Structure 1
């Protein structure tokens, strides 16, 4: 299926992403970042949804950790990541089969200026909140203003680029922007819309478990036990069940999120049938521990799904706000000492390749070797700010796979020596201050895989005279500390899309490096990074968009901010045979908007399995023999 995905990207969908295409000049049913939407007005359903799917049944997943808030739109509290997707609804909905295309949801149409300096939405007259009240322009304006001023910091950057928001007619709302940024019109379509009246007399930013946001989504929170479980119920009176974007979605009656203390307990819950869907991120465990009775009997289906997304970046991030990690040579030394080949063999049997850059596994990833052509031209604009290797070429070190990793150890010591660190009495010490090299690794309780990786890493660091401390804290403390950037090194994951845009500022833009609760965990403050993000946002040609992204990929990777681990270009999922999904898998693969959205429940006749119905050649379904 991987080849099929890239064929689709290369031939049609990617062309939408990269072409300099048309802008809308009148109300339309959808909008694309570049080019035009693939689906025509009045389409039946999304291509990866089944409009004939029955309703009913439940999906229950096992989550590690806990939660102390049900408001995913504010900074305070720890919220299950799924809630913003399950209970939230926006003016437009995103297709997972196109890099960045939106179709009508709460809004029945969208209109933009030719230069996208403004965008106007017309609300669907049928749009209603779960309490039966109509969604109004007043609710839309209040939601934008409140999220932009009191909401999570991720909404701040967008709101600062809004010059004005106003009602322009019956069911019409227009946003005018104060900066040249073609993506803003689409981002406006993705802002969640809340009910203004619910929050009168309440402190929106301080809410938690006491107030469940009222939205217009297909699911509502029916019940919860703080930190333990959340039950969501399908709204039988959901207003939008028959709009094209929603047909064949929200088929399950109940969605349950069950929380456990660690990965072992979560896996046991799935094995015994307490939960009925799980994702496996460790290929070694997938190959060795998924032969339990429910798999052998056919009650559970195992499936592997490739996707066309960039790898993103997963690993252990170094906080450059800390003096110890401000020198790139020190960060490279930490990467050299991380014996990936040995760790990968121990954790996955060597089956999962390493992430090589932020946008690898996609047409937007940097090329090997020296920069050339337009990529080089863009990089040279910031020649004084580039990290070592950005233009010349940078690649991660490769060890011989032995535990000693002599080559990597020697390289790490040489780099540390050049940065002013020497071993004295077996301890790496600063030549000028005489203080030992010390840092703390922050981990979240229950992350047993990360803990195992770090244990092996610490043993490697001890060979170069470094003995870091490890702090393991619960999910609430972990969020509090990472929100305040109170860590030296910690686990890091940033998923990236085929349409990088304004979110790149929040991930690694200088303006977000000190914003509490921001996503720039490494603390990047680079004119080159900011400038290249500007370029990709204002590009109107295929060459410039790709070149800007490839150049950004080079600067981030050569910046040596993260110690990358293995990639997940294949999603490994296991689920009860009574759960089903359409044969056609979107380009984004297993991604929010696909599961549980287009799944349904249907009893399987005795002797059958869901795999036999869904295999379809490309789905990669595996069944127990």
Structure 2
């Protein structure tokens, strides 16, 4: 080969290499978890689940529960106002009809490394805050650093793999990562709100108060009545109102949230016309409480919308930081004492299905015995997890629904005896000879009726269950300080679980007061499974990791599984309209509107009656 040919071949190789780099890391209008093509192309006009010509106008009235004392949702102090995030724009926004795809909002384009070691956001030059100040890369850097330094502890957990954020120029910001391969992290950073650096220059970011914050989103805070109500008004010159991802969204001129301390009172206020819409979470209410003329004649509409999300796990959560719950036999015994079949029939009108997985209603739920992919993940931790993970399919106990659970109580008593508990003077005492008394911390009145049968079943074995109901502020304070024995709580899941699993289950989150590690898990095997899930390199690998983690959590008896339903139950007055096509993974309330020429139901409740 001649030198000329060698040079030509080298030049060609270099040219191909240079051409290949932009192809691998070219700026995109959207990001997906496994680099599959997004549903909507770069030139899309609007999402399929909106009415692009929806009318604008009117006030949309909703309720909230428990009150608030802060307009700062980013810190671990106080209770922030309902829906306050509506005033902030994020770098990207997730579509509601794809498992996990984000499209640029503040960022017009996004570029990420082929090995997911960094992500770069190109900001829209027209993006601005409500005071007209432009949104720039320095605001993104400020936001990230402020959340990491002074924000709620969950942010430090969520963004733990970010090594550095740099403003490369006013419209370009890059995040570099400590580790390669975390496919979800670029999308997580896309959810970052962009806060105004110039506004916080004279303010303490870590202070929770009712000063109206400066935002950039489709709405701004217009009026606040401390602890009682908040009013948001649509920003008429909102900088992003004409973007395709916003077409058909944000149709109400104003939105109000009135706080109620009792959900029963709130339901009566809805029926009286005090507000326009409610998401009903009580099966009993849905079956019996809407038998009113307004429903019968079609003025107040009851509708069930399909919910394509994994339902996740709601359950009675054990705080295993408490010595009383550290023996798995105790947790299993107490789990046997919830008579779901009787509860569903007598209290819920048979509306629910028992939850049997932390990833219920999805392909990620563990079923049967572990398959080859799961075994490959589980074998390295075999000695650290219950043997049943490998040998048995997990099932909740099933009763005949009669309200008599003698066999389950016998099994529970046997387990408690094996754990060293015994009956003394008709009371169950623990290994230290102390009578067993468990406090169940609660904020919702309506859940007491669910707990009372459980309380009776425990009492039959000499165990005292004290139901302690507190107001929302005290409940949150005790939750953050881990001052509870048991609570009812949930672990919501998406179709693409990832970094949030650390917040749920990791040892690092156990003492983090802002995390959802309510259980108090500190288990190296679970940490390993969570890390593997986050770094899964394919959809099938993610499924296998979720199923493996699911099995270990289920056989650990860390919660007493509750129940779920696969629809959203909504009630709304007939002057409210919504698109014919609902998004698969959300109610899509921001796409609804008020029908022109249809006056809202006049309120028949005074302010005193409603609150």
Structure 1 gaps, min length 5: 1-21, 607-625
| Match of residue 369 from structure 2 | 370
| Match of residue 500 from structure 2 | 503
Structure 1 residue corresponding to 2:520, chosen from 511, 523, 540: 523
Q: Secondary structure in 1 aligned to 2:52?
A: coil
Normalising to structure 2: TM-score of the pair?
Answer: 0.92
| Match of residue 178 from structure 1 | 178
| Match of residue 345 from structure 2 | 345
Cα distance change of structure 1 residues 23 and 528 upon mapping to structure 2, 3 Å threshold: farther
Tell me if the contact between 2:575 and 2:595 (Cα under 8 Å) persists in the aligned partners. yes
Please list the CA deviations of residues 349-375 of structure 1 after superposition, one character each: whole Å capped at 9, or x if unmatched.
2221111111111111111x3222111
Tell me if the contact between 2:278 and 2:571 (Cα under 8 Å) persists in the aligned partners. yes
CA distance in 2, matches of 1:166, 1:382: 39
Please list the CA deviations of residues 127-174 of structure 1 after superposition, one character each: whole Å capped at 9, or x if unmatched.
111122111111111001001111111211243322211122340001
Structure 2 residue corresponding to 1:538, chosen from 514, 535, 542: 535
The 5 A counterparts of 1:124-139 are 124-139=124-139
CA distance in 2, matches of 1:496, 1:531: 19
Give the total of aligned pairs: 575
Q: Is residue 75 of structure 1 aligned with residue 72 of structure 2?
A: no
Q: Is residue 487 of structure 1 aligned with residue 492 of structure 2?
A: no
| Match of residue 194 from structure 1 | 195
Q: Deviation at 1:78?
A: 1.0
Q: Is residue 602 of structure 1 aligned with residue 595 of structure 2?
A: yes
Q: Secondary structure in 1 aligned to 2:388?
A: coil
Tell me if the contact between 2:69 and 2:81 (Cα under 8 Å) persists in the aligned partners. no
CA distance in 2, matches of 1:238, 1:24: 34
| Match of residue 228 from structure 2 | 228
Tell me if the contact between 1:92 and 1:104 (Cα under 8 Å) persists in the aligned partners. yes
Tell me if the contact between 1:23 and 1:116 (Cα under 8 Å) persists in the aligned partners. no
Tell me if the contact between 2:150 and 2:205 (Cα under 8 Å) persists in the aligned partners. yes
Tell me if the contact between 2:221 and 2:233 (Cα under 8 Å) persists in the aligned partners. yes
Q: Is residue 379 of structure 1 aligned with residue 378 of structure 2?
A: yes
CA distance in 2, matches of 1:279, 1:207: 28
Q: Secondary structure in 1 aligned to 2:417?
A: helix
Q: Deviation at 1:377?
A: 2.1
| Match of residue 559 from structure 1 | 556
| Match of residue 405 from structure 1 | 405
Tell me if the contact between 1:441 and 1:489 (Cα under 8 Å) persists in the aligned partners. yes
| Match of residue 581 from structure 1 | 578
CA distance in 1, matches of 2:461, 2:509: 34
CA distance in 2, matches of 1:229, 1:347: 32
Q: Deviation at 1:604?
A: 6.5
CA distance in 2, matches of 1:531, 1:341: 36
Cα distance change of structure 1 residues 343 and 139 upon mapping to structure 2, 3 Å threshold: same
Q: Deviation at 1:437?
A: 1.4
| Match of residue 313 from structure 1 | 313
Q: Deviation at 1:398?
A: 0.8
CA distance in 2, matches of 1:59, 1:390: 49
Q: Is residue 434 of structure 1 aligned with residue 433 of structure 2?
A: yes
Q: Deviation at 1:414?
A: 1.1
Q: Secondary structure in 1 aligned to 2:488?
A: strand
CA distance in 1, matches of 2:48, 2:23: 24
Q: Secondary structure in 1 aligned to 2:27?
A: coil
Which structure is larger by alpha-carbon Rg, 1 or 2?
Answer: 2
Q: Secondary structure in 1 aligned to 2:563?
A: coil
Structure 2 gaps, min length 5: 1-21, 600-611
Tell me if the contact between 1:73 and 1:151 (Cα under 8 Å) persists in the aligned partners. yes
| Match of residue 326 from structure 1 | 326
Tell me if the contact between 2:154 and 2:512 (Cα under 8 Å) persists in the aligned partners. no
Tell me if the contact between 1:305 and 1:589 (Cα under 8 Å) persists in the aligned partners. no
Q: Deviation at 1:528?
A: 2.4
CA distance in 2, matches of 1:379, 1:208: 47
Q: Deviation at 1:514?
A: 0.7
| Match of residue 37 from structure 1 | 38
Q: Deviation at 1:601?
A: 1.0
Cα distance change of structure 1 residues 585 and 24 upon mapping to structure 2, 3 Å threshold: farther
Q: Is residue 265 of structure 1 aligned with residue 258 of structure 2?
A: no
Q: Secondary structure in 1 aligned to 2:370?
A: coil
Tell me if the contact between 1:62 and 1:267 (Cα under 8 Å) persists in the aligned partners. no
| Match of residue 445 from structure 2 | 448
Please list the CA deviations of residues 90-142 of structure 1 after superposition, one character each: whole Å capped at 9, or x if unmatched.
10001111111110100100001111111100111111111221111111110
CA distance in 1, matches of 2:314, 2:84: 22
CA distance in 1, matches of 2:581, 2:569: 16
Tell me if the contact between 2:81 and 2:230 (Cα under 8 Å) persists in the aligned partners. no
The 5 A counterparts of 1:73-152 are 73-84=74-85, 86-152=86-152
| Match of residue 418 from structure 1 | 418
Cα distance change of structure 1 residues 81 and 317 upon mapping to structure 2, 3 Å threshold: farther
Q: Secondary structure in 2 aligned to 1:414?
A: helix
Moved more, 447-456 or 97-106: 447-456
> Superposition RMSD on alpha carbons, in Å?
1.6
Q: Deviation at 1:541?
A: 2.5
Cα distance change of structure 1 residues 23 and 379 upon mapping to structure 2, 3 Å threshold: farther
CA distance in 2, matches of 1:492, 1:113: 38
CA distance in 1, matches of 2:576, 2:386: 49
Please list the CA deviations of residues 183-239 of structure 1 after superposition, one character each: whole Å capped at 9, or x if unmatched.
111111111111111112322112222x23322110111111111111111111110
CA distance in 2, matches of 1:127, 1:436: 62
CA distance in 1, matches of 2:304, 2:151: 37
Normalising to structure 1: TM-score of the pair?
Answer: 0.89
CA distance in 1, matches of 2:229, 2:598: 31
| Match of residue 301 from structure 1 | 301
Q: Secondary structure in 2 aligned to 1:342?
A: helix
CA distance in 1, matches of 2:597, 2:524: 57
CA distance in 2, matches of 1:507, 1:24: 34
